[in-house]
Amino acid sequence: MTRRFYFAAVLLAVWSCGDPVHDTRVDALGGEKSGVPTGPTHRSGQPCLTCHGGQGPADLELSVAGTIYQTAAPDSPPLEGATVTVFDATQLADGGAPRTAVTNAAGNFSFRRTEWAPVYPLHDISVTFPGVAAPTTMHTTVGRDGSCASCHVDPKGPATHGHVYLVLEPADLPGAMP
């Protein structure tokens, strides 16, 4: 009797050490898209740190990551070759030395935690692209979440700002964009 009780208690303790909330968040993102290899170009538009934030399932730990699209349209293609600039709390927007990353063919960019573990809040985040006059700058600070897609998911709503884009309309894109 008592032995069975202890056994149950141990099982319960083991079970409650996993993080069901985290597991649910990972599961909600679904499987890999067919034809896209698991790697730097996968899962564009998703909150990368849900899996790459240190709690698994991915081994590679990222500190800040996301996806940039060409325009604000919900069906916009991704933007390759954009520079994402991020300041952390140790860097003044005026004169500080921000971190930059360039987006790949899927519009994805990322910073590995081993190369940069930023001090929050992040601020003055911007996206630039050759041939586009002004950077698209975010005014809001980021308090704790390194995934752009935690706040930038479609459709736009009270608690989301839609995906991150360079320009509003295709007509504003520089010359020969696809």
Partner 1 sequence: MTKRIAFLIGLALALAVACGGPPDDARVGVVTPDPAQFPPVSLLLDHRCGSLDCHGARTRNLQVYGCEGLRLGTATPGCRNASGTDTTAEEHDATFRSLVALEPAVMTSVVQGKGQNPELLTFVRKARGTESHKGGTLVTPGDDQDICMTSWLAGAVDKNACARALAAPVTAR
Among residues 107, 48, 118, the alpha carbon closest in space to that of 81 is found at 107
Among residues 109, 115, 105, the alpha carbon closest in space to that of 83 is found at 109
In order of 44, 110, 113, 155, the CA distances from 116 in angstroms are 21, 10, 5, 31
Angle subtended at Cα 141 by Cα 50 and Cα 125, rounded to the nearest 5 degrees: 85
Interacting stretch for ligand HEC, rule CB under 6 A, among 12-20, 55-63, 74-82, 88-96?
55-63
Q: Does 161 bind ligand HEC (CB under 6 A)?
A: yes
Q: Does 65 bind ligand HEC (CB under 6 A)?
A: yes
94, interface contact from ligand HEC, partner 1, none, CB < 5-8 Å by kind = partner 1
3-state SS assignment for residue 155: coil
Residue 78 carries which DSSP code? B
Q: Does 51 bind ligand HEC (CB under 6 A)?
A: yes
Segment 101 to 140, residues that bind partner 1, using CB under 8 A: 119-121, 123-124, 138-140
Q: Provide the binding-site residues for ligand HEC, judged by CB under 6 A.
A: 26, 29, 38-40, 42-44, 46, 48, 50-52, 57-60, 64-67, 84, 86, 108, 110, 125, 127, 136, 138-140, 142, 145, 148, 150-152, 161, 164
